[in-house]
Amino acid sequence: MLRKDYLSNFLLPRDAAPHFPAPVPAAEEPEASAISSAFNAFTETLKAHSEPRPSPLLRRVTLVLILLVAGTALLSAANIPALLGGFSIQILKPWAWAPFQILVATFILFILEAILIFAVILQNRRDKQLETLLRESEERMSSAAECANLGFWRWEAETDRIWASPHCLRMFGVYSEKRLTMKKMVEMVHPDDRPSVERTINEALLNHAVYEVEYRLCLRDGAVRWVRTRGRGTLDTDGHLVTLSGTVIDVTESKQMQAVVEEQQRSLAHLARVGMVGELSGALAHELNQPLTAILSNAQAARRMIEHGPLDVTELRNVISDIIDDDARAGNVIRHLRALLKKDEARTEVVDINGVVSRTLELTRSALTAQRVVIVTRFSHEPLRVRGDSVQLQQLLLNLVLNAAEAMAGVSRDSGALIVTTNSVNGEILQISICDTGPGVPEGIKSRLFDPFFSTKQNGLGLGLSICRAIAERHGGRIQAVNNPGHGATFHVSLPLAKEQVL
């Protein structure tokens, strides 16, 4: 019962069942069992080695000492009659060897002892060699584990004792495993990561599976390290947790590398956005000029109304409210622009895709109408929300719309059409389709279309579509291009819909 309480204190949410079903050996994953048996063998070796046991040296020294005492006693026994006056020797041994009697006995004894001491020394050396071999093997193993940045640990529920490899201890920033308890280990997990760690481990325990989870470790000196831990628990027949063991690997550096790569991708995407805004500058100037023109003319009209003649207050109110509306319109254009130009951390929020599509078409409307391109939107009636960064998603769409416009500009058709469709597939996937009436994608280049630095344009960098793909993939989605049956191409972007449809 104690074990169960312990677990539910540190690992289980309060409402989760603390009683795990009994293990089903047949369900064991082969990889998992291999790992755990290798791990167990390793821990057993180390354990056996570190346990206190009677030293063979001590045993042998004791033996030699006993022999010495016995020898001396023998010698003394041989000597006693001589000491008493040599009577008995004369009675026993009347011949001439009698004077050498002690010498011979001492010599024999000496030889025997020498042999014994030699044997002890030899045995000792062999033991030492074995010990060295074992230590070397252990060192190799732990240095291999250390090189792999891998630490081992094992927790026994009954005693709440943790055994951990030295590297593992170092990773946790402690010097002795005696101080390490499960409570302390849990406390070192970053508070933000704790729920997910607990959830993952509990799920794995319920399924008798191996868990793997990444989390931040807050060390006592204030440092934060990223670690990935992989492990599994063993349960007794009643389903109580007996041990929990696993490996832990420090992934801080790869996390940092990943952050650097992400930062570079963000910079690239930002540069591409700036370039796109440059391309759009004419259209954007127009988008800004329209409301500004209306504002100025309305303001001048209002001044005339005040200066000349009877003042029509209702009309003046209309004029002012029009000015306010147009100001909001200009402000919106600027806000969209700033969002595109800003170099921001990628944010994860729930984004309404129909809104993003509308904003994108607002920004490109003048550019498209100048080309006599008719814009048709077919929005899904239900709200389509995805989790992601709205600026990046807008960049993705903007890029595709501008690409379509450019494709249609090269065609000497009277006017083009851009059809933007949004719909959900099975309520799980969101699909955005951007269909143009351009020349379509030549079959030969279709496979390279989304590759970086691949461009069919004379001055193209070949980054636009590769950034589109990167953005789609970062949002767990994908992008593909297909040619339409008639003319033109359609780009499909699929993204996973956000689970929480209701905000």
Contacts of other proteins in 412-471 (CB under 8 A): none
State the Cα–Cα distance between residues 379 and 389, nearest whole angstrom: 20
Is 145 or 373 the residue whose CB approaches other proteins more closely?
373
Q: Does 76 bind other proteins (CB under 8 A)?
A: no
Is 17 or 296 the residue whose CB approaches other proteins more closely?
296
442: CB partners within 8 A, 6+ apart: none
Backbone angles phi, psi at 127, to 5 degrees: -60, -45
Q: Which stretch binds other proteins (CB under 8 A): 44-52, 181-189, 284-292, 419-427?
A: 284-292
Is 255 or 329 the residue whose CB approaches other proteins more closely?
329
Q: Does 401 bind other proteins (CB under 8 A)?
A: no
Is 198 or 326 the residue whose CB approaches other proteins more closely?
326
The H-or-E segment that residue 493 falls in is strand 489-496
CA triple 181-186-190, angle to 5 deg: 145
Q: Which stretch binds other proteins (CB under 8 A): 73-81, 164-172, 193-201, 293-301?
A: 293-301
Token match 């791990």: residue? 39
State the Cα–Cα distance between residues 239 and 245, nearest whole angstrom: 16
Edge-to-edge strand ranges of the sheet holding 416-425? 373-378, 416-425, 429-435, 489-496, 478-483
State the Cα–Cα distance between residues 247 and 167, nearest whole angstrom: 11
Is 369 or 501 the residue whose CB approaches other proteins more closely?
369
Is 196 or 318 the residue whose CB approaches other proteins more closely?
318
Q: Does 304 bind other proteins (CB under 8 A)?
A: yes
Q: Does 292 bind other proteins (CB under 8 A)?
A: yes
Is 104 or 285 the residue whose CB approaches other proteins more closely?
285
CB of 255 to other proteins, least distance (A): 47
CB of 253 to other proteins, least distance (A): 51
Beta bridge partners of 424: 430
HSE of 447, CA atoms in CB hemisphere, 13 A: 1
Give the number of residues in contact with other proteins, rule: CB under 8 A.
Answer: 31
* Closest to 480 in 3D by CA, of 489, 492, 490: 492
The answer to whether residues 198 and 169 touch, using CB atoms and an 8 Å cutoff, is no
Contacts of other proteins in 318-337 (CB under 8 A): 319, 322, 325-326, 329
Q: Does 317 bind other proteins (CB under 8 A)?
A: no
Summarize as ranges the residues that interact with other proteins (CB under 8 A).
282-283, 285-286, 289-298, 300-301, 304-305, 308, 315, 319, 322, 325-326, 329, 366-367, 369-372
